A and B are shown apart, each in its own frame.
Chain A
Amino acid sequence: DAKTTQPPSMDCAEGRAANLPCNHSTISGNEYVYWYRQIHSQGPQYIIHGLKNNETNEMASLIITEDRKSSTLILPHATLRDTAVYYCIVRVGNRDDKIIFGKGTRLHILP
């Protein structure tokens, strides 16, 4: 079973920041928080991951609470192309560590 809880859907206006929450209250000390997204009829795309510090890359920022029980993925300036299902995943992150997908959050970007 997935170890995360996400809202089933969210709306965001184009050009605004999209903030996607994720709860992972049972996360272990050696587990990372990963975010992937899946645009319709495509394979999932890696976005970002983190252990306990906040992370930023060219796609997004990841904010992890101090107790690591929740996190937020931030898309700073959402565009229509960001419409997708976003998956928050907790895993150890070894090469052989499989990913168990939950239901994710369906993000709709509104023009």
Chain B
Amino acid sequence: GAVVSQHPSRVICKSGTSVKIECRSLDFQATTMFWYRQFPKQSLMLMATSNEGSKATYEQGVEKDKFLINHASLTLSTLTVTSAHPEDSSFYICSASPGTGVYEQYFGPGTRLTVT
């Protein structure tokens, strides 16, 4: 199947700093990517839809100025957590869909963010 990568896999940052997470589709082009957040023992929660060349669409309750999304190319989307706080500590996962027809989405391995 198609491969989606994320970098970094783990990051620890101090409160008040910003962190950038990259999501890449390695063997296909993705005009649309998705960002999810997952807290311990909970399900994945969709944060936003990242569209190549245009502004991201955020889900209700997700602060667009805090979670900056840039989808500058057909294989790369980035999520920047600005002015991170301990409550932003979570598992961040991206996904993308290749091909034509009925699409399965492929997910990245996730990025564990810890804000101290």
Number of interface residues of A (CB under 8 A): 25
Q: Are A96 and B93 in contact (CB under 8 A)?
A: no
Q: Are B1 and A43 in contact (CB under 8 A)?
A: no
Which of A46, A95, A99, A100 meets B1, CB within 8 Å?
A46
Q: Which of A28-43 contact B (CB under 8 A)?
A: 32, 34, 36, 38, 41-43
Most chain B C-beta atoms within 10 Å of own C-beta, residue among A43, A93, A97, A100: A43
Q: Determine the chain B residues whose CB is within 8 A of the CB of A38 once the complex forms.
A: 44
Q: Which of A65-111 contact B (CB under 8 A)?
A: 85, 87, 93-104
Majority secondary structure, A binding face = loop
Q: Are B46 and A99 in contact (CB under 8 A)?
A: yes
Q: Are A44 and B107 in contact (CB under 8 A)?
A: yes
A25 at the binding interface (Cβ < 8 Å): no
Q: Determine the chain B residues whose CB is within 8 A of the CB of A36 once the complex forms.
A: 107
Q: Are B34 and A95 in contact (CB under 8 A)?
A: no
Q: Are A99 and B95 in contact (CB under 8 A)?
A: yes
Which of A32, A102, A104 meets B102, CB within 8 Å?
A32
Which residues of A pack against B, CB within 8 Å? 32, 34, 36, 38, 41-46, 49, 85, 87, 93-104
Between-chain CB contacts (< 8 Å), 16 pairs = A41-B110, A42-B110, A43-B107, A43-B109, A44-B44, A44-B107, A46-B106, A49-B102, A49-B104, A85-B43, A96-B32, A96-B97, A98-B46, A99-B95, A101-B43, A101-B44
